[in-house]
Amino acid sequence: MFTGIVEEMGAITVMNKSLSGAKLTILASTVMSELKIGDSVSVNGICLTVVSRGERDFSVEVSPETLSVTTLGGFAVGMPVNLERAMKLNERIGGHLVAGHVDGVGRIRSRQQDANAIVLTIDAPPEILRYCVPKGSITVDGISLTINVVGEQGFSVAIIPHTAKVTILGLKQVNDSVNLESDLIGKYVERLLQERSQLAKPAISIDTEYLQKRGLI
């Protein structure tokens, strides 16, 4: 689990793709602290497992499925990426609960300056928009953001100067793709409500005994 609070921007130094998937090596500094083989790291919102590490970099392996359903398939050497280590239960959650399981890919429709903030309008597939509500949370390339407006095709978020400076969202332009993860709690609530609606309701037989018990006859 993650919080959606990016710890630093790293850079891809090696990317090897094959039919069996891909292996990336990422240059980093902050996230290297206490990082061990087998640990989870969020890379642009994608939960990946560390398979090896050096003094200043670490490597992760990626399955073909992840390459096909995220923006990772378009990664290249030299690209900056958002990095976050898995959360600790004894620390504050500054963002919201993030699984690191990308639900879909969105596309930046517009980028506008609004005072000191950058407002991004992002087109998203229906399976993500169904969980989007004004003032609710969404993860964009691993960043926990608050939704300002929800439309028929997408939603808008405001990027404050700090977020623009320390994450790759400050570099994103119109038509760029981003990884999206819907609010985890919203998905659980929907699932619970679906199961409740599918529970068999006991059949009521309105007969003489039923009416007598309720003093109706």
Q: What burial class does residue 15 get, using C-beta atoms within 10 Å of its C-beta: 0-12 exposed, 13-18 middle, 19+ buried?
A: middle
Secondary structure of residue 33 in the 3-state scheme? coil
> 8-85 is classed in which CATH architecture?
Beta Barrel (2.40)
- pLDDT tens digits for range 98-113: 999 999 999 999 999 9
The pLDDT score that the predictor gives to residue 57 is 98
Which tops the pLDDT comparison, 81 or 90?
81
Q: pLDDT tier at 89 (50, 70, 90 boundaries)?
A: confident
Q: Give the start-to-end residue ranges of the domains of the chain.
A: 8-85, 104-197
The CATH class that applies to domain 104-197 reads: mainly beta
- pLDDT tens digits for range 39-77: 999 999 999 999 999 999 999 999 999 999 999 999 999
pLDDT at residue 13 above 70? yes
Q: What burial class does residue 7 get, using C-beta atoms within 10 Å of its C-beta: 0-12 exposed, 13-18 middle, 19+ buried?
A: buried
